Amino acid sequence: MAIIIFGQTKCSLCKLPLEEKQEVSSFPHFLKEGHQLWAYSDSGMHTACIETWEHKDEFLLLYKTVRRDHLFTESAEMKEMIRLHGIPDWIKEDVKEFGMPNWLQEFWDSNEKPDLL
Ligand SMILES: [Zn+2]
């Protein structure tokens, strides 16, 4: 996720600082450089600014698609990380939204935190 320092980091849409009392959304780097919305993919925004943004639907759909593809792509590194540390919260969130990928099922069945052999 983009690092946000309240009072300093600026909203990538309105360019005003993000303040602690405001509702803020942040996004990780999920678009390739050169994409027309790339500049927004590693940034924070006022939630209110997103609501009125002309590219809101496209941007949120892209973010959702990337997260879904990532979840359903089996990766040896991710499996090893889960073996060592359990299933991270962001994966649990994505499973709630997108469903269970086959590669993850074995870890889920073993009570979310597999025993080390
Ligand atoms: Zn803003």
Sheet strands (E) in 1-117: 24-26, 44-46
For residue 10, what is the DSSP state?
Answer: B
> Looking at residue 45, what is its pLDDT?
97
How confident is residue 116, by pLDDT bands cut at 50, 70 and 90?
Answer: very low
Distance from the alpha carbon of residue 108 to the mean position of ligand 1, in angstroms? 39
Distance from the alpha carbon of residue 98 to the mean position of ligand 1, in angstroms? 29
Distance from the alpha carbon of residue 24 to the mean position of ligand 1, in angstroms? 9
Among 3-17, 19-33, 60-74, 95-109, which is the least confidently predicted range?
Answer: 95-109
- Summarised one tens digit per residue, pLDDT across range 64-110 is 999 999 999 999 999 999 989 989 998 999 999 999 999 999 888 76
> Looking at residue 117, what is its pLDDT?
41
> Looking at residue 21, what is its pLDDT?
96
CA 86 to chain centre: 18
Distance from the alpha carbon of residue 21 to the mean position of ligand 1, in angstroms? 13
| pTM summary value | 0.81
Distance from the alpha carbon of residue 102 to the mean position of ligand 1, in angstroms? 39
Distance from the alpha carbon of residue 64 to the mean position of ligand 1, in angstroms? 21
Distance from the alpha carbon of residue 4 to the mean position of ligand 1, in angstroms? 13
Contact 26, 1 (CB under 8 A): yes
For residue 113, what is the DSSP state?
Answer: S
For residue 31, what is the DSSP state?
Answer: S
